[in-house]
A and B are shown apart, each in its own frame.
Chain A
Amino acid sequence: MISLAGRDIQHAWGKFVFTGIGLGLLIGVTLTMAGVYRGMVDDAKVLLDNSGADLWVVQKDTLGPYAESSSIYDDLWRGIRSMPGVARVSNITYLTMQVRQGERDVRAMVTGVTAGEPGLPGWPPQLVAGRQITRGHYEAVADVATGFKLGDQIQIRRNQYHVVGLTRRMVSSSGDPMVFIPLRDAQEAQFLKDNDAIRQQRRRTAENPAFNRPGVPGLLDAVIASQSTNAYVNAVLVQIEPGWDEQMVAESIRRWKRLTVYTRSQMEEILVGKLIATSAKQIGMFLVILAIVSAAIVAFIIYTLTLGKIREIAVLKLIGTRNRTIAALIMQQAVALGGIGFVVGKIAATFWAPVFPKYVLLQPLDSVIGFVAVIVICVLASLIAIRAALKVDPAEAIGG
């Protein structure tokens, strides 16, 4: 038996191809939306992977340092370092901000790392050009996605930094590229106020009789000095000794340091389950809407094509064609349309994904799921047209 659907498609290939291209662009958008979600999850995992940490020690009862703000004293690392099972620790600060370079600015996550100690958790694990930060001030390592080049001067708050190294795929959970600077500079950038605010604070402190007592010389200077220091970091990253159970070490830090500690899996849950949850739901809604729109378009197209063949269907039924042959004709056309659409969509998504400002991760599994979904949608969408075709009375082929 010949394929009636194949012959019909061959006969009206232009209509099918152009309709398939239109549908394909819609499928391409759907695949890209899924890729955007996968990219966000991957960004979150990359952030955790590249930090090299096993544990994140943060301010008590916060979800810091990525999902909530966290502030802890910068000398706590010493006590943590001395605890059993802890191999290496490092202070870290994270601050997402606009980093200026000349006339342009780039949104980046500025990360403060302890200068001169590459290999500690938090440092970029590898560079693609240049060197790591060796000086205590005004040097930076930037992700290539920032567009900065070696030797560039960038401005963070009031200071200028010299880009000495470039790294790759170091991004925040929001997909912003990272810029690494020495910890002291990062603390200033995050916690130090501007000169006007400092002067105003000193004046207010000096006018406060509690701090400016005539009988207590030196008190005012001590208070002002304490206000000017930046003894905070956002988190302490911990690497544990091989063979130690991370839960046990985490519990020990929680118990003795009165801080909140997250393991890798807990931090991943925070990033994926909480930080990008709303975005994921948003994308999920888009996927559902796009699926419904695709189904409606396929249903409309197939229904219209079928209505255009009512007389032929009546003739086919009159001359003894079985219902399942007619149903197969319509369903195969719907599936073919979906197939053309999927191929076009996959190619389109592959080509336009790198142009997107955020990372779009097109996973083979998503493509397989997408293909199955497209076929299922096309099959379901063809049911309306099949119903209409099966209701055609063969007597319509006979006049009168």
Chain B
Amino acid sequence: MNGKGIRIEGLAKRYGKGDTAVDALKVVNMHVAPGEVVGLIGPSGSGKSTLLKCLGAVIEPTAGRMILGDDVIYDDGWEVNDLRALRRDKIGFVFQAPYLIPFLDVTDNVALLPMLAGKPNAEARKQALDLLQGLDVQHRARAMPSQLSGGEQQRVAIARGLVNRPPVILADEPTAPLDSERALGVIRILNEMARKFETAIIVVTHDEKIIPTFKRIYHIRDGVTYEEAGEGQGF
């Protein structure tokens, strides 16, 4: 399943109809291999958020093709019936702010996804604890989100994004609220996790600190993507 990462071909998104129609995405082509972390960079209004919402199966593109692993999930129309299950099982999200559920402790914040997928609580919690250990926050497993530092919260959010072993993770400005050291720490973790779990990770960012770390960068401008080799060698 994770063998092919995510491939996007000719993806387009138009808002509205007739004279008032706006083409937020015109031609988007991307391919992110398993274990790879790529940057997605573009100015405000370039279509980053729209692309992220299309990739996250939150809004429907107008045309194009999206292949996740071996599965075509969009081909000028959704190929899957249950988008909610698709998001839960095959797409991981990491947000600008961690957006942890404030009334669940760290373990249950991470274990919630496998529980939603129908796994028994004990099994889901074990899976979450293993992941928290990998991210070095296992000692905060019983803490509530409000008791964590910003970096810890973001690591827990990454664990939540990874817990169902999705073939792709969409990270929306994951380092924005962090200082340089912590921001680089988060990117290091994302790279480690991508390799460990064979996950393709797309990082939308404006953060100058982390842009040099990407091996490959997609620029998006006026709804069109351009690929560029990055300066970085990853971690």
A: which residues have CB within 8 A of B? 1-2, 4, 7-8, 10-12, 311-312, 315-322, 325, 393-395, 397-400
Contact = CB atoms under 8 A, between A and B. Distances in A.
B149 to A, nearest CB: 20
Among A311, A393, A395, A398, chain B packs the most CB atoms within 10 A around the CB of A398
B84 A322 contact: yes
B160 A319 contact: yes
B108 A320 contact: no
Contacts of A11: 102-103, 144
Contacts of A317: 84
B182 to A, nearest CB: 19
B84 A398 contact: no
A316 B116 CA distance: 10
Contact of B121 (A1, A8, A315, A322): A1
Contacts of B95: 315, 397-399
Interface residues on B, range: 20 to 34
Contact of B115 (A1, A8, A311, A318): A1
A400 B160 CA distance: 22
A397 B115 CA distance: 21
B163 to A, nearest CB: 10
Contact of A395 (B59, B112, B121): B59
Given A11-B102, A395-B53, A397-B93, A319 B113 contact: yes
- The 7 A-B pairs with the shortest beta carbon distances in the complex, nearest first, are A400-B49, A320-B88, A11-B103, A8-B103, A395-B58, A315-B99, A320-B87
A98 to B, nearest CB: 61
Contacts of A8: 103
Contacts of B113: 319-320
Contacts of A10: 103
A318 B103 contact: no
A318 B87 contact: yes
Contacts of A398: 49, 52-53, 56, 58, 93, 95, 172
A58 to B, nearest CB: 68
A354 B84 CA distance: 56
Name A's interface SS. Answer: helix
Interface string B58-96: 110000000000000000000000001111110001011
Interface in B83-142: 84-89, 93, 95-96, 99, 101-104, 108, 112-113, 115-117, 121
B173 interface: yes
Contact of B172 (A4, A312, A320, A399): A399
B108 A321 contact: no
A8 B93 CA distance: 23
Nearest to B121: A2
A67 B164 CA distance: 76
Nearest to A308: B102
A318 B96 contact: no
A399 B173 contact: yes
A238 to B, nearest CB: 70
B87 A319 contact: yes
Given A2-B104, A320-B117, A397-B99, 16 more contacts: A2-B115, A4-B104, A12-B103, A312-B101, A315-B99, A315-B101, A320-B85, A320-B87, A393-B58, A394-B87, A395-B53, A398-B49, A398-B52, A399-B173, A400-B48, A400-B172
A12 B53 CA distance: 32
Name B's interface SS. Answer: helix
B144 A7 contact: no
A7 B104 CA distance: 7
B88 A312 contact: no
A325 B113 CA distance: 13
A315 to B, nearest CB: 5
Interface string B153-171: 0000000100000000000
Contact of B116 (A1, A7, A311): A1
A286 B100 CA distance: 45
A319 B116 contact: yes
B93 A312 contact: no
28 contacts: A1-B116, A2-B104, A2-B115, A4-B101, A4-B103, A4-B104, A7-B108, A8-B103, A11-B102, A311-B99, A312-B101, A312-B102, A318-B56, A318-B58, A318-B93, A319-B116, A319-B160, A320-B89, A322-B84, A322-B116, A325-B116, A393-B58, A398-B52, A398-B53, A398-B58, A399-B49, A399-B172, A400-B53
A397 B172 CA distance: 10
Contacts of B87: 318-320, 394
A317 B102 CA distance: 15
B95 to A, nearest CB: 6
Nearest to A6: B103
Contacts of A315: 95, 99, 101
A5 to B, nearest CB: 9
A2 to B, nearest CB: 6
Contacts of B49: 398-400
B177 to A, nearest CB: 12
A316 B84 contact: no
Nearest to A317: B84
A10 B160 CA distance: 22
B207 to A, nearest CB: 13
Among A4, A322, A400, chain B packs the most CB atoms within 10 A around the CB of A400
A4 B105 CA distance: 11
Contacts of B108: 2, 7
Contacts of B56: 318, 398
B12 to A, nearest CB: 18
Contacts of A7: 103-104, 108
Contact of A394 (B58, B89, B104, B116): B58
A252 B52 CA distance: 93
Among A10, A12, A320, chain B packs the most CB atoms within 10 A around the CB of A320
Nearest to A396: B58
